[in-house]
Amino acid sequence: MHTSVRLALVAAILAAPFAAPTVAHAQPADASGEPNSGSASPPGPAPNPPETNGDEARIREIVDRELARVLTERAAKDAAEKAATENAQPSGTTGAKAGDIRGQSGLFDTRIAFTMTNENVLVQPGETIPSVPGWRFGIPNSLGVLFFDNYDTRYSGFETLSHVTAYRDVNVGHIEAEAAFVMRINELSGTNIALSDDGSYIVLSDWKDPTHKDPTRISLTAFPVSADRFRLGYSYRLSWGGDPEYSRTNAATPGAKLQYDTKGAYAFIGAKSSVVLDRATAEQRSALAGLVGGGWDPTDMVRLEFNGGYFDRGYNELVDVNREHVQLFGGSVQASIHHGMPIRSSVDYRLYKYNGEQIAGLFAPETYPGGLAWIAQSEFTVLGQTLKDPDKTGATKIQVGKAGDLNIRVKKDRIRLRADISYRDLAFILHSVPSLPTYEDFPTEYKTSADLFAAVGADKNWGDWLTLGVIVGIDKPATLTSPTGIPGATNGAGGQSTEVIRNNNIDTIITILPPGEKVVPQFALKANAKVDFAKLYSALIEVFYSYDGNTTRYERVGCATGQSCPDAPLQYVFGNFNQLGINVTLQARF
């Protein structure tokens, strides 16, 4: 009411200077242009004009003062209304009204790495498997990534890649709808570029609280192209149920997940599908998978989780069992206890959301709030897979694989400590292949051993820009030993043969020991220095040493050094057990 009165007063004041001249000139004029007085008396001396300059100045001052007061009060009211609206909106929807479409499109999770590398300065090209070309600019090969590196991600950290992301989000009351098209750009070269889907999705959520302050909701997440981010297991190195389970098909592997979240608990069910070739009929057939899982926080410090699934991987490719399905099934459990640190999960499981809050959270630098914080997590997985029985024609049997780990992280002021212990038997490592020889269980005369490694590390940060660290580890790699030689392998001699099989989330590397030799542990040490600057950039130098008594290389039988013997058979001989490598990298991530 008061505002209306003030506005009316302002309008009247604004109209006054214009109304007065309008009234003065409203009388009609004669042809001479003089005002008609209506009398015949002779004209007298002209009257003095009214003195209006001082009055107009005072009026303008009043108007300006009153208008400024009205505008100030109106701005204060608008700000209060805006603040109230933002407080009532869910996180990440600042300034948006119900039903407004939010989100952005562009390049997201861009990683640019320029690396100078030499995986082993102690050898020449051709003396290792894989070969070390020498000093160069580019991505290090598998020898430049040690067994304790990239434990919880698919990437080595030396890649240059980006993601084209188009993200949209809308809230209408309790309902939230999100969608993102995510295309990964990687494996760049001067003439080629690789494009792939990296988890495009649609999410529909029904929230109990429209402001999202209560986490309770039911959500449906659909992956129309690749559901690889929807995996089972917890640590990325021990995860399973992703796209590699259908690696022998070129078809997409879409999927969907229905999940219920509430404070201190969650549960989900899901499904995936692919199209595989039935080799008996040469026709394509669908292959389905079902997934289920959940978690519960009995206290603020403890979380218990489980998940499991069944995957139809299509028909066995071996002739006598090509009407039998390869069926993968199993379960994983994890227990976590933590204080001052959130529950850890691989960034490769997360959905990309292109808005300010989500980007800041994904790339937030390490913080050091002071005090003591820690987390310990342990998981165990058991898998079963139906493969050909090597001892019976036309029969199948279940191959059992197991894996487990213990991961500990501690932060004390600006010092971080880590410890990782991991166990994976050979059946688990090769379950996506599947097995070796492929599609059948290990023959009874074969002997297998599991991969077992342990690593401890520490680093310290100074002033949020310099971090120095060291990590040391021991690894006994998995093996497959045959008394008569591995099928398909050339070792230049008969007798017992042992394959050393390693997997580091990026590659599965197989080397063969000389006849009669046994696997020994590998020891490794890495020291690194990292400088962070301008929020997006970092410079990293790594110097690492490894002693691996399982290192072998190819050699032509009966061929002298420097002699060309293209027709001579190959054999494996021991190489240089010592490795001294250096990586120097300039990185940007945004």
Percentage with pLDDT > 90 across the chain: 57
pLDDT recorded at residue 51? 45
Q: How far apart are CA 429 and CA 497, in angstroms?
A: 20
Confidence of residue 356 (pLDDT cuts 50, 70, 90): very low
Does the CA dihedral 111-114-119-125 come out positive or negative?
positive
Confidence of residue 75 (pLDDT cuts 50, 70, 90): low
pLDDT recorded at residue 347? 81
Domains of the chain, start order: 104-589 (2.40.170.10)
The residue among 97 and 360 whose pLDDT is bigger is: 97
pLDDT tens for 140-182 read 998 999 999 989 888 888 989 888 899 999 999 999 999 999 9
- Burial (0-12, 13-18, 19+ Cβ within 10 Å), 71: exposed
Which 3 state secondary structure label does DSSP give 400?
Answer: strand
Which 3 state secondary structure label does DSSP give 244?
Answer: helix
pLDDT recorded at residue 94? 45
The residue among 130 and 566 whose pLDDT is bigger is: 130
- Burial (0-12, 13-18, 19+ Cβ within 10 Å), 187: middle
Give the pLDDT mean for 72-84.
54
Q: How far apart are CA 431 and CA 63, in angstroms?
A: 83
pLDDT tens for 494-551 read 567 899 999 887 778 888 998 888 999 999 999 999 999 887 899 999 999 999 999 9
- Residue 486 amino acid letter: I
Confidence of residue 562 (pLDDT cuts 50, 70, 90): low
Confidence of residue 359 (pLDDT cuts 50, 70, 90): very low
- Residue 473 amino acid letter: G
pLDDT tens for 238-269 read 999 999 999 888 888 999 999 999 999 999 99
Q: Across 43-47, 68-72, 177-181, which has the greatest mean pLDDT?
A: 177-181
Q: How far apart are CA 31 and CA 28, in angstroms?
A: 10
pLDDT tens for 171-205 read 999 999 999 999 999 877 778 888 899 999 999 99
Give the pLDDT mean for 361-367.
64
The residue among 248 and 338 whose pLDDT is bigger is: 338
Q: What is the average pLDDT value for the chain, to the nearest integer? A: 83
pLDDT recorded at residue 11? 42
pLDDT recorded at residue 293? 97
- Provide the 8-state DSSP code for 246: G
| 163-172, 322-331, 473-482: range with lowest mean pLDDT | 163-172
Q: Are residues 337 and 302 in contact, defined by beta-carbon separation less than 8 angstroms?
A: yes
Q: Quote the tokens at residue 510.
A: 């197989």
Q: Quote the tokens at residue 124.
A: 């020449």
pTM, two decimal places: 0.80
pLDDT recorded at residue 457? 97
Q: Quote the tokens at residue 62.
A: 């009043």
Q: How far apart are CA 407 and CA 152, in angstroms?
A: 11
Tell me how far apart the terminal alpha carbons of the chain are, to the nearest angstrom: 52
| 247-261, 390-404, 565-579: range with lowest mean pLDDT | 565-579
Which residues is 398 bridged to in the sheet?
386
pLDDT recorded at residue 248? 84
Inform me whether the pLDDT recorded for 7 exceeds 60. Answer: no
Give the pLDDT mean for 329-352.
91
